[in-house]
Amino acid sequence: MLQLNVKNETSRLRAVVLGTAHSNGPTPKVEEAYDPKSLEHILAGTYPKNEDMIPEIEAFAKVFEKYDVQVFRPEEIEDYNQIFARDIAFVIDDVFIKANILPEREKEFNAIQYIIDKIDPKKVVRPPEEVHIEGGDVMLWNDYIFIGTYKGSDYKDYITARTNLEGVEYIRNLFPNKIVKELDLVKSKIEARDNALHLDCCFQPVGFHKAIIYKQGFREEADYVFLVNLFGEENLFHITREEMYHMNSNIFSIAPDVVVSEKNFKRLNTWLRNNGFIVEEIPYAEISKQEGLLRCSTMPLIRE
């Protein structure tokens, strides 16, 4: 049995689900794009190919091996995007929560059923249908659960709005002892530089008390100010619109002092090293063309 335990984003990782890129399928049609960044690359003819993405995700797997992390991979489904393990489920404390994802991605969940079978069934929950929530919007910080959402009345018109207020309430009821703080995110169907697809596109804690943040990712300045006050201005690394577009906030922590980052994130990686982090740099630029990066590709199961 797997004894799940995830209370924050940075404690020492012991077990994780890592997506796979082995059979990602052909380039989607324009009308099949789930987000503006994928759309941009489909139109430009630069959408990533399997053979370019496989080495990237396998480089990530090698880093996990180096740090003695148990890695589970989804069973492969032919011609199907299975890179972003974070979207389909997530763990809070010792509870495995299935995300109600876009219906066409349901198959991805079946591909990790063999892992779910190792978890106490009483600890596996599936929210009711009206609850929309994806792992990229759920950020754990000890007593806090930060949840990215979209409060616009036009929520249903946005395929890029993945977590609704029912999702926030569901988590609040499930974890009454936690402080659940929803954060209203900026969404765009057409401009990837103005679309915070998930919370981890504009915010993520690192180490014990630092965080990466993109101010313009929040629809309400009050949400941004809340995080600044909580973490302290001096502990925040502010990213630019272009860095947000390249997903600088979507790195991944293996331990409080060990971070996996994209090798092109020069400014961020320098800041991390200057603040005492070990930075494991890997190439991930091809995968990032689908508006997801390192955190999106992982689903932590056990942290110490």
pLDDT at residue 139, rounded to an integer: 97
Q: Is the pLDDT assigned to residue 119 strictly greater than 90?
A: yes
The answer to whether 20 and 76 have CB atoms below 8 angstroms apart is yes
Structure tokens at 27: 């380039």
Q: Is the pLDDT assigned to residue 145 strictly greater than 90?
A: yes
| Three-state SS letters, 221-244 | HHHHHHHHHHHCHHHEEECCHHHH
Half-sphere exposure of 143 (CA within 13 A, CB side): 3
In a domain, 1, yes or no: no
In a domain, 6, yes or no: no
In a domain, 8, yes or no: no
Beta-carbon contacts of residue 17 (< 8 Å; ≥ 6 apart): 71, 72, 73, 74, 85, 112, 115, 298, 299, 301
The residues with which 180 forms a beta bridge, in sequence order, are 145
Note down the domain range covering 200.
13-303
Could you give the number of structural domains in the chain? 1
In percent, the amount of the chain with pLDDT more than 90 equals 67
In a domain, 3, yes or no: no
In a domain, 5, yes or no: no
d(CA 149, CA 198): 8
In a domain, 25, yes or no: yes
CATH number for 66: 3.75.10.10
pLDDT at residue 51, rounded to an integer: 86
pLDDT in tens, 39-92: 777 788 778 788 889 999 999 999 999 999 999 999 998 888 899 999 899 999
pLDDT at residue 27, rounded to an integer: 78
In a domain, 176, yes or no: yes
In a domain, 198, yes or no: yes
